[in-house]
Amino acid sequence: APAAGPAEEQLLKRTSAFAHVDDAERVAVYLRLLGDGWTYDQLSEREQRLARMMFFSLWPNGGGHASYQDAFDVLAAHPAVRDELRQVIELGLANAEHVTLPLEAGLQQVTLQTHAHYGRDEILAALDWAGIDGDSPRKTQGHASGVVWAQEAGADAFLVTLNKDEKHFSPQTMYSDYAISRDTFHWESQNATAAASPTGQRYVRHAERGSHVLLFVRPTRSNSWGGAATYQCLGPATYVSHEGERPMAITWRLRHGMPVDTFRVASVVA
């Protein structure tokens, strides 16, 4: 059996964070990162972005590493963990239920795929919102609103939990989010968002201003074994209309209709 490394126990606890990986590009790059013979600096820009997604999946708090290379050197010293991760990732792709599509023009540099599943850490890293020398995804874990403006990527990411559990969502964050049809979605902004505010205007005028809206949904906050549930990326969305404010109830049109099984879950809660 491969030798155990010093951080084995801690790293093995993170292997379940890879069970959802379900698009071919992410699988190919993650498997490459689990092999030898590469350095972070030699990776393409796209591979580096995927490496950052993998990094935050393993070390959600940043792990105190000086650099991404330093972190992957630590991982390289854990052959048993690398073996386990390979198996989990390959199984994830084998069990994938949806055909995934790359993000189109304007977001093509972002390594997320429409209809693939992601942990919150991966989403924030893919959008350049989290970095080793800045915010880690977990620093904002208390930020339960699920609204992230990723300025680097020029994108608003809405992370929607469809069935809200009153234990974890205050009355102020029990927003009404549901699918109207396979390609339209009803979403409520944060309570403080007025239509004339900079944020409200960014939502309404995103198309003319050249910013993007990405929608992510998950049925519940926790998965069946009690960990954080992953989100399915529903891809880019465009503004259709809104009613009211504080919160704004916005209807978004998805560029790609959501899969039938996703629609079934997302429309039931209305």
**Nearest CA to 170 among 190, 186, 200?**
190
**Nearest CA to 259 among 22, 54, 16, 27?**
22
CA 238 distance to own-chain centroid:
19
- Give tens-digit pLDDT for 154-213: 999 999 999 876 565 555 545 589 999 999 999 999 888 999 999 999 999 999 999 999
Higher-pLDDT residue of 220 and 55 is 55
- Give tens-digit pLDDT for 79-122: 999 999 999 999 999 999 999 999 988 999 999 999 999 999 99
Q: Are residues 153 and 172 in the same domain?
A: yes
Overall number of domains in the chain = 2
Q: Are residues 108 and 43 in the same domain?
A: no
Own/partner pairs for 141-148, CB < 8 Å, 24+ apart? Answer: 144/168, 144/169, 144/173, 145/173, 145/190, 147/189, 147/190, 148/123, 148/124
Q: Are residues 10 and 74 in the same domain?
A: yes
Q: Are residues 248 and 209 in the same domain?
A: yes
Q: Which two tokens stand for residue 244?
A: 């009211």
Q: Are residues 153 and 245 in the same domain?
A: yes
Query: Can you give the residue range of the structural domain that contains 1?
Result: 1-96
Q: Are residues 89 and 219 in the same domain?
A: no
pLDDT for 140 equals: 52
CA 245 distance to own-chain centroid:
27
Q: How many residues does the chain have?
A: 270
Among the three residues 53, 68, 96, which one is the final residue of a domain in this structure? Answer: 96
Q: Are residues 29 and 118 in the same domain?
A: no
pTM above 0.75, yes or no: yes
Q: Are residues 71 and 112 in the same domain?
A: no
pLDDT over 50 at 141, yes or no: no
Among the three residues 56, 79, 96, which one is the final residue of a domain in this structure? Answer: 96
Q: Are residues 112 and 79 in the same domain?
A: no
Least confident window among 61-75, 139-153, 163-177, 216-230: 163-177
Q: 62 vs 5, 67, 85, 168, 268, CA distance in Å?
A: 19, 10, 19, 25, 37
- Mean per-residue pLDDT for 22-38? 97
CA distance 130 to 139: 10
Among the three residues 77, 96, 115, which one is the final residue of a domain in this structure? Answer: 96
CA distance 111 to 55: 14
Mean pLDDT score of the chain? 90
| CB-CB contact of 122 with 23 (8 Å) | no
Q: 68 vs 37, 72, 258, CA distance in Å?
A: 15, 6, 35
pLDDT for 121 equals: 92
- Give tens-digit pLDDT for 214-266: 999 999 888 877 788 999 999 999 999 999 999 999 999 999 999 999 999 99
